[in-house]
Amino acid sequence: MMPRAKLKAQKVEAANALLDARAVPEGGAWITKARKAAQARVRDMGLPSKRDEYWRYTDPRRLTDAAVVQGALHDTRGEPPVFDGFDRIKLVFVDGVFDAEASDPLALAGVEICHLSQAAGTDLHWARDLYGTLDARAQAPVERPLASVNTAYATEGVLIRVTGKPEKPISLIYLRQSETSDAMVHHVIRVETGAEATILENGPIATRFNQVMEVDIADGGTLHHIRAQGRDHERAGSAHLFARLGEASHLKSFTLTANGALIRNDAIIWLDGADGSAHLAGATVGDGAFHHDDTVFVTHGAPRCESRQVFKKVLRGGAVGVFQGKILVDQIAQLTDGYQISQSLLLDENAQFLAKPELEIYADDVKCSHGSTSGEIDDNQLFYLRARGVPEDSAKTLLVLAFLAEALEEIADPDYADDLRVRLEAWFERRG
Amino acid sequence: MLKIENLHAELEDDSEVKILKGLSLTINPGEVHAIMGPNGSGKSTLSYVLSGRDGYTVTEGSATLEGVDLLDMDPEERAAAGLFLAFQYPVEIPGVGNMTFLRTAVNAQRKARGEDELSATEFLKLIRAKAKDLQIDADMLKRPVNVGFSGGEKKRNEILQMAMLEPKMCILDETDSGLDVDAMKLVADGVNALRDAGRSFLVITHYQRLLDHIVPDVVHILSEGRIIKTGGPELALEVERNGYTDLMAEAQA
C-alpha cells in the first residue's frame, strides 16, 4: 500500500500539471475570483485517484488523462432524438459549445436565460453568488476535484433563473460532431421562491465531458430535471449535479444512461430547509465495455424532509455498474424520511454490479431505509410469459422494462417517462 | 386433439428421478378429461412437460396437438399452436400491467399464426366484455400481473387469459387450490362458458369437488407416473369416498 503522503503528492502533482497547462479564462471580476478559488481547491486536493474512497470502483484516469481524446461518433440510424415531440425551448450545444443559431431565442415568460460568457463579462449578475459556491461547499466531507476543475475552466454553459412557472420546459440539447471533443459545461440554475420549471437534457455532450450543474432552489420552489445522456459508445464523462433546497422546496431528477465507456454521475444534494423533498432516480443500460457509476450524497440538514434514491441498472456482456449512495441526517433533521434502493439486473455472468449504500444518522427520530440487490431475469416470470405465447426475446425485454419501471416512475410527468421507455425498448430490441 | 403416448420424463438435473413412466392419454375435440392422483404422482409434471417448462427431460414417448409434435416446440410456439396452461401458482410480474401483458400475449399469438394484431380499441372492447363475466374490475386489469391479487383473483385472472387467448387445448393445473366455494364456482363458470365442440380440457385436481362444477367426460387416476384407471365422473366420486389406496392396490394386483 502506498503511503498516504506519497499518494497525495502524486495527486497534487497531477493536478498542477493539468492546471499549469491552462490559463484561467478571461472574465469579469466575480467569475475570475470563483475560477481562481476553484483552481486553488484543485491544487490543494489534487486530482482523483483510484485510491480515493469514492473512486475505488471507478478508475478516474480516463477523465483526467492529458492525452487527446478520441472516440468514434455514433450512428443513431435516423432515430428521432429524445424529447423530439415535446414543445420546449431548445438550447443547443455542439461538442459542448453553445450554438446560438441552432437554438431558440432565449426568451420565455417566467425565466431568464443567458450564456455563461455573457454573464461573466458583466460585473453584476445574480449568478455571481452561486457560480462555484455549491461546488466549493461540496468539497467536504468528500473531495470532488473534477467539479472544481470544471468551475475553474468552463466557459460554456447557461445561467437559468426561474422566476415564475414557465409554460414550456427548457431543453438543453448536446450534439456530438467531433471525434476529439473534450468539453466542459457549467450550468447554474436558480429557482426563485414559489417558482417551478422543468429542465430537460439530452445528448452525449462530447467524446469526453466534464459537466457541472449547480442548482439553488429557494423556499417553495420546484425543479424537475430529466436527463438522457445519449448512447454513444466511445465517450467518457463526469457529471456533477449540486442542489441546495430551501424550505418546502422540491427537486426531482432522473437520468437515463445508455452505453458509454465510462460515465460517472455525481449528485450532491442538501436539504437545507424544512419540509423539502429530493427524489433522485436513474435507469442505466449497458453492454460490453461499459462502466457506469452513480455516486449520490444527500444531506438532510432540516426537519421533516423526504429523500428518495431509486437507481436501476441493466448490465450485459462485461458491463460494470457502480452505485455509491449516502444519506446523511444531521442532528437537527428530525422526522427525516429517507429511502434508497439500488438494483441491478445482470443479463449474463460477465456483467458486474458494485454497490455501496451508506447511512449516517445523527437525529433520533427518523425513518431511513436502504436496500441493494443484484439478480437475473426470473425464470418463472420468463416461462409464464412464454407459456402465454410471448417469444423469448420480447418476454425478456418486457421483464427488463418492468425492472426499470420503478425508476421511470420517479418522473412526475408520465409523457416524459413514456418517451424514455420507448427508447429503452428500442435499445433492447436493437441489442444496444 | 391431444394425444400422449407412452410418455416418460425425468428431472433434467437428476436422471434418477423418473416422474412420468409411460403415460398414455387421448383427448378428443370437445372433451373434458380430469386427472386425479395423490401427491407426487406426476400431475403437475405432466402439465409442465406439455407446456415446455425447463427442468424435465422426455426420454421416451410422444405428445401431439392435432397431430403436431408438441415436445419439439418452444413454449411460445406451443401457446400459438393452441395449448394453454392455467398455472397452479400464477406468477407475479411487478412492473408489467395486466392489460399490457394480455395485449402482448394476444398479439404475439396472432402474429405467430399470421393473423392481424388487434388494435388497442378492439382489444379493449374484447377484454372489457370478458373481464365483466369473470367479475374482474378495471383496477385488476390495470394492476401489475398478479401482484397483490388474492388466490381467487389470481385464478380468475388465469381464466381471463384463457378466454382472451381462445386456446384449443386447455390444461388446468389444480385450479381449485386455494379457492373458497364461491371463487371456485366463479372460476368453473368461466371454464364452462368456454366449453365448445372445438375445445378440449385437461383438468388436474386433487379433489372431486371441482368436478361437481366442471363435469368431466372422462376421469383418469394417475399414480407413480402412469394412468392406472380410467372411467366416467363416477370414478372421481369413488376416489372421494375411498381415497387412492384401494385403486393403487388394485393396479398393482
Cβ–Cβ below 8 Å for A389 and B93: no
Which residue would you say has higher pLDDT here, B198 or B246? B198
Q: Give pLDDT, residue A190.
A: 98
Nearest CA distance, B167 vs chain A (angstrom): 10
Q: Phi and psi for B24 in degrees, rounded to 5?
A: -130, 145
Give B228's DSSP letter: E
| CA–CA distance, B219 with A292 (Å, rounded to integer) | 59
Residue B216 lies in a domain: yes
For the record, the C-alpha cell of A29 comes out as 471580476
Q: Is A383 on the interface with B (CB under 8 A)?
A: yes
Do residues B90 and B101 make contact, with C-beta atoms less than 8 angstroms apart? no
- Specify the number of domains making up chain B: 2
Q: Is A56 on the interface with B (CB under 8 A)?
A: no
The total of other beta-carbon atoms located within 10 Å of residue A20's CB is 9
Residue A351's identity, in one-letter code, is: A
The answer to whether A345 and A321 are in contact (CB under 8 A) is no
CB of A425 within 8 Å of any CB in chain B? no
Are the Cβ atoms of B95 and A389 closer than 8 angstroms? no
Residue B221 and residue B155 share a domain? no
Give the Cβ contact number of residue B64 at 10 Å: 15
Query: Is 0.85 exceeded by the ipTM?
Result: yes
Chosen from A345, A377, A384 to mutate, greatest number of chain B CBs within 10 A? A384
What are the grid coordinates assigned to A264, written together?
Answer: 460517472
Q: Give the whole-angstrom CA distance, residue B48 versus residue B75.
A: 10
A388·B91 Cβ contact <8 A: no
CB-based contact A402 B79, cutoff 8 Å: no
What ranges do the domains of chain A cover? 4-378
* Dihedral (CA of A130, A132, A137, A142) sign: positive
Of B167, B196, B223, the position where a domain reaches its end is B167
Nearest to A286 by CA among A121, A129, A428: A428
Closest CA to A107 of A189, A167, A157: A167
Do the Cβ atoms of A273 and A300 come closer than 8 Å? no
Give the strand pairing for A89-94 and A170-175: parallel
Question: What are the pLDDT digits (tens) for B115-149?
Answer: 999 998 999 999 998 888 888 888 889 899 999 99
Per-residue pLDDT of chain A (432 residues; tens, 9 = 90+): 567 888 899 999 999 998 988 888 888 889 999 999 999 999 999 999 999 999 999 999 999 988 888 999 988 777 889 999 999 999 999 999 999 999 999 889 999 999 998 888 787 789 999 999 999 999 999 999 999 999 999 999 999 999 999 999 999 999 999 999 999 999 999 999 999 999 999 999 999 999 999 999 999 999 999 999 998 999 999 999 999 999 999 999 999 999 999 999 999 999 999 999 999 999 999 999 999 999 999 999 999 999 999 999 999 999 999 999 999 999 999 999 999 999 999 999 999 999 999 999 999 999 999 999 999 999 999 999 999 999 999 999 999 999 999 999 999 999 999 999 999 999 988 876
The stretch B172-189 carries a mean pLDDT of 88
Q: What is the pTM of this model?
A: 0.90
Task: Give domain status of residue B70, yes or no.
Answer: no
Contacts of A396 in chain B (CB under 8 A): none
* Residue B190 maps to a domain: no
Confidence of residue B253 (pLDDT cuts 50, 70, 90): low
Indicate if B104 and B163 belong to the same structural domain.
Answer: yes
Within an 8 Å CB–CB cutoff, is residue A388 touching chain B? yes
Neighbouring C-alpha atoms within 13 Å toward the C-beta of A85: 7
Q: B70-108: per-residue pLDDT in tens?
A: 999 999 999 999 999 999 999 999 999 999 999 999 999
Domain with residue B230: its CATH number is 3.40.50.300
Nearest CA in chain B to A398: B96
Residue in A381, A386, A403 nearest the CB of B76: A386
* Yes or no, beta carbons of A389 and B165 under 8 Å apart: yes
Residue B175 lies in a domain: no
Residue type at A47 in one-letter notation = L
* B136/A contact by beta carbon, under 8 A: no
Cβ contacts of B79 on chain A, cutoff 8 Å: 386-389
List the helix and strand counts (H, then E) for chain A: 9, 20
A390 with B90: Cβ contact below 8 A: no
Residue A315's nearest CA partner among A374, A267, A355 is A374
Domain shared by B158 and B218, yes or no: no
Residue of A nearest to B162 (CA): A388
A249: three-class secondary structure by DSSP = coil
Together in a domain, B163 and B81: yes
A257-316 residue pLDDT tens: 999 999 999 999 999 999 999 999 999 999 999 999 999 999 999 999 999 999 999 999
The DSSP output letter for A85 is T
Domain membership of residue B22 (yes or no) is yes
pLDDT at A431: 73
A84 touches chain B (CB under 8 A): no
Please tell me the predicted confidence (pLDDT) of residue A1: 57
Nearest-angstrom CA–CA distance, A380 and A369: 28
Contacts 24+ apart (CB under 8 A), A140-144: A142/A53, A142/A54, A142/A297, A143/A45, A143/A48, A143/A52, A144/A240, A144/A266, A144/A268
Taking residues B192-200, report their average pLDDT: 93
- Give the end of a domain, one of B146, B167, B188: B167
For residue A29, the 8-state DSSP code is: H
Whether B224 is in a domain gets the answer yes
Q: Are residues B80 and B36 in the same domain?
A: no
Cross-chain Cβ contact A391/B51 below 8 Å:
no
CA distance A258 to A255: 10
Return the higher-pLDDT residue of A408 and B180: A408
User: What whole-number distance in Å separates Cα of residue A161 and Cα of residue A112?
Assistant: 5
Q: What is the rounded CA–CA span in Å between residue A224 and residue B228?
A: 67
Residue B179 belongs to some domain of the structure:
no
Cβ-in-10-Å burial (0-12, 13-18, 19+) of A211 comes to buried
Do B93 and A402 count as a contact with CB atoms less than 8 A apart? Answer: yes
Contact B91 A406 (CB under 8 A): no
**Can you give the residue range of the structural domain that contains B230?**
1-45+207-253
Regarding whether B160 and B82 lie in a shared domain, the answer is: yes
Cα dist from B108 to A41, A391, B125, whole Å: 59, 7, 18
Contact map slice: B 203-232 vs A, CB within 8 A: none
pLDDT (average), residues B174-198: 89
